[in-house]
């Protein structure tokens, strides 16, 4: 499990903001880090005293070099390293799942089908290791991490090149007793090669199938002796049901390296229940999948991160330190996860804090208290279109409120007890700038609630700070799984989460299958470029399709794949009748072009991240017909938003963009609850305290122009109906209205 950072730990290493400790040993510490782009990484940092040892530094430099040679979807890739830094470090992609050993201990042995899939994928990883001219030398359950989309082989610390002299002394046994080949157990270094890793793979698979190592337990000497002289114990209930798998295991565990199958042969033989170069999202039993999600939630439910004092950069730091407020990284728990069955002229006035004195923003002293709603948004970075839309929608709601004439409510009290200002904080969509933007609004005593931030990356940086101050934070566009596990006290999600956007995809395909009995199984492509978003979308879609009796044909591709033709061809060859893409717009455009070139015109679907102008630009005519789910409406095509659209056009000189109407709704919701919570004592009006306003918002139900807003009173998650459907038609996104929610 992750542990809090210590006061002596650095705040960042090599462009990675450090979030927690993953483990520590005598020679260094492994941290959980996050890059500026939002990618998680395991960052191994070597202590300075070991770095001063030339031999140790040479070995670490060699580890980095060896790990960089390996390229496989099932081997954890190196994402960065600085072996010559004062404190050498190595970063690899972070996998939040449990090890195979932890999973078997908790859930018991795997079924034969899962073991077959595991064997094939790990054989692919070892094949990449061997093709790089390496031998791993420590294949064991603790060095295999499990994810829903497949396993990951880790730890190349004792790997060595097949053509180099061993760095260890003669007669030294390297590796983990119980999972070593006989030639390793007897320290016959010259004989250790790729076949040795195959023997270790056999030991690992025997453990996965039986729950025990094939050569028993006990002292290291006893294990090494039995490995060399005894037959493996692989008896289990699975053996009678799958004699072919039993024969395969015994071949891997042959004492003579020449009699063991190669990784290529393993890939050719284990065809049944395994996918050629990808992993089925349902390759594991449901209890293990649920356990993976729970483990990920525990790993990523980080403790608060203390602010870093400027000027204390540790060795190896890249100088990009920030001093953010405390924050915590939140994730969706496993149980919750699987329960999911512009006018240019106007912009010059919008960028900074309000400074007008015409009374429209609450600055007129005669109008009463100056209270404010804040918005933290990307107003100048890559996500500025959504950020500016939210800012404009919020501003219009406040200006309309301030333009009202005072009156009396049903009790005789004022129905217009205050005026409002809008305070903006531009974070530029940057994880580094987000804490300072949040601090600006949090420390402003007039700010009673905040909309934003625009992206998940920036939201993850500041949720903890808003939570600590109990300042209500209403999110409109951020909706990933990193938001709700620790039950934040101040968060109010004004949109369905990303997981909910996958539900209509499964429902739509079920409806299509009911009409066309001959329609083939759905193809499902997870693009790791989109990291957690793609994993979440693919996992939920796969689960729901399976529950609907339509198991998908899934494939997973590494990040930043340029040529989509091989994977698209493979999916179409499986006889798929529909295609679901989990990832970002640029990747979807590549897939769309390949599908069009292949003449595929079946249903093609994706969720909100693809609803991006780049998809239309990059895909061209190939985008036609794609269906996309979203959490926002097209205000121009929503009858209830007609008056808003007209007012927006008059105020800003153009039609309302995506998210403007949702911001308008959210501000009006806040205004309504502020009016309800305002107290008047002897003519002095006081607003509800921030914590009180959180409670009012979470208990509210509000019929907006975009949807009905309702929330879980305890956690602040969205509880209303608010998923919509778009279709690409004539080169544009056409709004179809509410998405289907039942077959």
Q: Which residues are catalytic?
A: 138
Q: What is the DSSP string of 459-515?
A: HHHHHHHHHHHT--EEESS--SSSSSTT--SSEEE-S--GGGGGHHHHHHHHHHHHH
E strand or H helix at 287? helix 286-300
CA dihedral sign, ordered 679, 684, 689, 693: positive
- Which residue, among 714, 722, 723, 696, has the nearest Cα to 629 in the 3D structure? 723
Yes or no: say if 315 and 85 are a contact pair by the CB < 8 Å rule.
Answer: yes
Q: Rounded to an integer, what distance in angstroms lies between the CA atom of residue 309 and that of residue 75?
A: 37
Q: Rounded to an integer, what distance in angstroms lies between the CA atom of residue 478 and that of residue 470?
A: 19
Q: Give residue 657's Cα distance to chain centre.
A: 27
The 8-class DSSP code of residue 193 comes to: S
CA 669, 640, 394, 383: dihedral to nearest 10 degrees? 120
Q: Strand 627-630 vs strand 679-681: parallel, antiparallel, or unpaired?
A: unpaired
Please state the φ and ψ torsions of residue 736, each to the nearest 5 degrees. Answer: -105, -10
Q: Rounded to an integer, what distance in angstroms lies between the CA atom of residue 301 and that of residue 322?
A: 21
**702 Cβ partners below 8 Å, 6+ apart?**
665, 668, 669, 672, 708, 709, 710
Q: Rounded to an integer, what distance in angstroms lies between the CA atom of residue 490 and that of residue 467?
A: 5
Cα distances from 16 to residues 19, 63, 75, in angstroms, run 9, 20, 21
Yes or no: say if 327 and 305 are a contact pair by the CB < 8 Å rule.
Answer: yes
Tokens 């305890």, residue located: 714
Structure tokens at 444: 């402003």
Tokens 């990675």, residue located: 16
Task: Give the long-range contacts of residues 251-258, CB within 8 A, separation 24 or more.
Answer: 251/202, 252/198, 252/199, 252/201, 252/202, 252/205, 253/199, 253/202, 253/203, 253/206, 253/214, 254/199, 255/182, 255/228, 257/181, 257/183, 257/191, 257/193, 257/195, 257/196, 257/199, 258/195
Greatest extent of the chain over all pairs of C-alpha atoms, in Å? 94
Tokens 């049944």, residue located: 272
């Amino acid at each position: 499990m992750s542990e809090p950072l210590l006061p002596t730990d650095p705040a960042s290493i090599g462009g990675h903001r450090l979030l927690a400790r993953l483990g520590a040993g005598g020679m260094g510490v492994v941290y959980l880090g996050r890059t500026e782009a939002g990618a998680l990484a395991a960052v191994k940092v070597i202590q300075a005293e070991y770095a001063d040892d030339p031999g140790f530094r040479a070995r670490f430099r060699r580890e980095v070099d060896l790990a960089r040679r390996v390229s496989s979807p099932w081997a954890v890739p190196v994402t960065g390293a600085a072996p010559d830094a004062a404190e050498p470090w190595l970063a690899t992609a972070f996998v939040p799942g449990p090890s195979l050993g932890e999973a078997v201990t908790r859930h018991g042995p795997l079924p034969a089908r899962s073991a077959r899939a595991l064997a094939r994928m790990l054989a692919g990883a070892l094949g990449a290791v061997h093709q790089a001219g390496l031998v791993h030398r420590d294949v064991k359950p603790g060095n295999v991490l499990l994810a829903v989309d497949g396993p990951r082989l880790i730890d190349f610390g004792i790997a060595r090149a097949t053509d180099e002299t061993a760095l260890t002394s003669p007669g030294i046994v390297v590796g983990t007793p119980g999972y070593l080949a006989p030639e390793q157990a007897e320290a016959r270094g010259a004989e250790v090669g790729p076949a040795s890793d195959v023997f270790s793979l056999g030991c690992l698979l025997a453990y996965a199938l039986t729950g025990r190592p094939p050569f028993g337990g006990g002292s290291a000497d006893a294990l090494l002796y039995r490995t060399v002289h005894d037959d493996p114990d692989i008896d289990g209930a699975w053996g009678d049901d799958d004699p072919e798998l039993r024969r395969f295991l015994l071949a891997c565990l042959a004492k003579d390296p020449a009699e063991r199958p190669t990784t290529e042969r393993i890939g050719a033989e284990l065809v049944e229940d395994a996918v050629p170069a990808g992993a089925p999202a349902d390759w594991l039993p449901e209890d293990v999948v649920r356990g993976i999600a729970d483990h990920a939630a525990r790993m990523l439910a980080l403790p608060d991160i203390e602010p870093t004092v400027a000027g204390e950069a540790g060795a190896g730091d890249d100088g990009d330190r920030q001093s953010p407020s405390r924050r915590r990284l939140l994730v969706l728990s496993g149980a919750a996860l699987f329960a999911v069955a512009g006018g240019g002229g106007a912009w010059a006035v919008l960028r900074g804090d309000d400074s007008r004195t015409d009374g429209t923003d609450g600055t007129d002293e005669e109008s009463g208290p100056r209270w404010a709603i804040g918005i933290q948004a990307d107003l100048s970075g890559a996500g500025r279109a959504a950020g500016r839309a939210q800012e404009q929608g919020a501003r219009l709601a406040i200006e309309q409120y301030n333009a009202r004439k005072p009156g009396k409510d049903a009790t005789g009290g004022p129905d217009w007890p205050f005026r409002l200002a809008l305070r903006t904080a531009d974070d530029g969509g940057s994880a580094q700038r987000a804490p300072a933007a949040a601090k600006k609004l949090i420390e402003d005593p007039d700010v009673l609630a905040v909309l934003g931030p625009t992206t998940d990356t920036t939201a993850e940086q500041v949720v903890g700070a808003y939570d600590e101050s109990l300042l209500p934070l209403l999110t409109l566009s951020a909706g990933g799984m990193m938001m709700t596990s620790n039950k934040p006290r101040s968060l109010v999600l004004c949109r369905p989460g990303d997981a909910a956007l996958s539900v209509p995809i499964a429902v739509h395909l079920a409806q299509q299958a009911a009409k066309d009995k001959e329609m083939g199984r759905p193809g499902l492509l997870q693009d790791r470029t989109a990291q957690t978003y793609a994993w979440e979308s693919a996992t939920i879609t796969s689960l729901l399709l399976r529950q609907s009796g339509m198991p998908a044909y899934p494939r997973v591709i590494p990040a930043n794949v340029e040529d989509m033709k091989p994977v698209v061809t493979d999916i179409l060859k499986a006889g798929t009748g529909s295609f679901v893409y989990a990832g970002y717009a640029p990747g979807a455009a590549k897939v769309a072009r390949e599908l069009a070139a292949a003449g595929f015109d079946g249903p093609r679907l994706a969720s909100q991240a693809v609803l991006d102008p780049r998809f239309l630009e990059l895909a061209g005519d190939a985008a036609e017909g794609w269906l996309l789910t979203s959490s926002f409406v097209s205000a121009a095509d929503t009858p209830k938003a007609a008056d808003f659209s007209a007012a927006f056009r008059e105020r800003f000189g153009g039609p309302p963009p995506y998210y403007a109407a949702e911001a308008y709704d959210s501000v009006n919701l806040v205004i309504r609850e502020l009016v309800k919570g305002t107290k008047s004592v002897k003519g002095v009006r006081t607003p509800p305290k921030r914590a009180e306003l959180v409670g009012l918002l979470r208990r509210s139900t509000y019929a907006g122009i975009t949807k009905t807003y309702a929330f879980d009173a305890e956690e602040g998650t969205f509880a209303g109906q608010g998923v919509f459907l778009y279709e690409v038609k004539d080169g544009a996104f056409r709004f179809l209205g509410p998405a289907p929610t039942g077959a």
